[in-house]
Structure 1
Amino acid sequence: MTVQQDRRAAAPQDAPWLDEGQQYSWRQYLDGTARFVEALSRDHEEHSALTLGEYELLVRLSEARDHTMRMSALADGLARSRSRVTHTVHRMEQRGLVRRSANETDRRGVNCVMTDAGYAELVASAPGHVRAVRRFMVDVLTPEQLRNLGDAMAAIAEACRVVDERVVDERESR
């Protein structure tokens, strides 16, 4: 019996081990994602005043009406914890890239607003970001692979979103 067979024999029935093809895909996903994010992050550090996370936050704000989003919606859209987004916004606020304001329709809510300086920094960083995304992803894949990657990641994001919503519902029902 090989180590792999031994592991499979020890697996509980409700959590079967991954087969070789599944294991290959899983490990390639982990390795590829980690290397891709690291390459983009390194590129941002070298060519931009923004981190990759700050850039994505400004992109979200740039697409929002009046360049404004509620902090909780911003965190959800970025798939980040609210405390992590709060810390990032605080750092960006100190640099004049964003500001916080009261939500006019809900006193408990806080909005994040992109400033003119934030917009200028986003515009300055965008060409380098797009070049890096092209270099490390778009130009490496065929159009079909790129489309399949997008479809696969959308399915994964949706499965995770459903789990996240269940966790929130459980917390609120307590």
Structure 2
Amino acid sequence: MKKVLKKISEIAIKQGEFSFAPEQTEAKWLGNQPATLAEIQEAEARLGITFPMDYREFLLITNGFTTPNEHVDPSFSKASDVAFLKDVDPQLIEIWTENDELLEVAIKLARSIIIGGLGEEQYFLLIPPVIENADWEYWKFASWIPGEDPYEGLENYFINVLDFLKSA
């Protein structure tokens, strides 16, 4: 995953379509310093969950990551800012609960953890499994996307971001 994040950083900074912090431009890196194991464990304890391995790996590479496409992709939060969506945007869940046909999505939104997009147009969500040892779900979710935009994992998401950057 680190190679993909590094390539995203290099291409985005080279394209120069967005303003990045001077230290990001110098380092050619849109990420932060890695999270410590203690920071990850504190976030997990606060939320009462154990993060999936790929998200833990991401945090150990970078504790947050600036979006290379402000209006298309979310920025990823530091471990200390990760929260349940129901605590950040309860109105969104309420809106989806009002339509019986969308109740399955609303139930997943109520369980989801927002790891990216705080204060932005779209979120990146981790949805814990209901059954132990089942797979986590990974969604990009925005009002302008007709429903959830699922990914097979965090690295898969970042590969898609990289492909989008390369095609721009």
Same fold (TM over 0.5): no
Higher helix share: 1
| Higher-Rg member (1/2) | 1
TM bin (shorter chain)? under 0.3
Higher strand share: 2
Task: Provide TM-score, normalisation by structure 2.
Answer: 0.24
Task: Provide TM-score, normalisation by structure 1.
Answer: 0.24
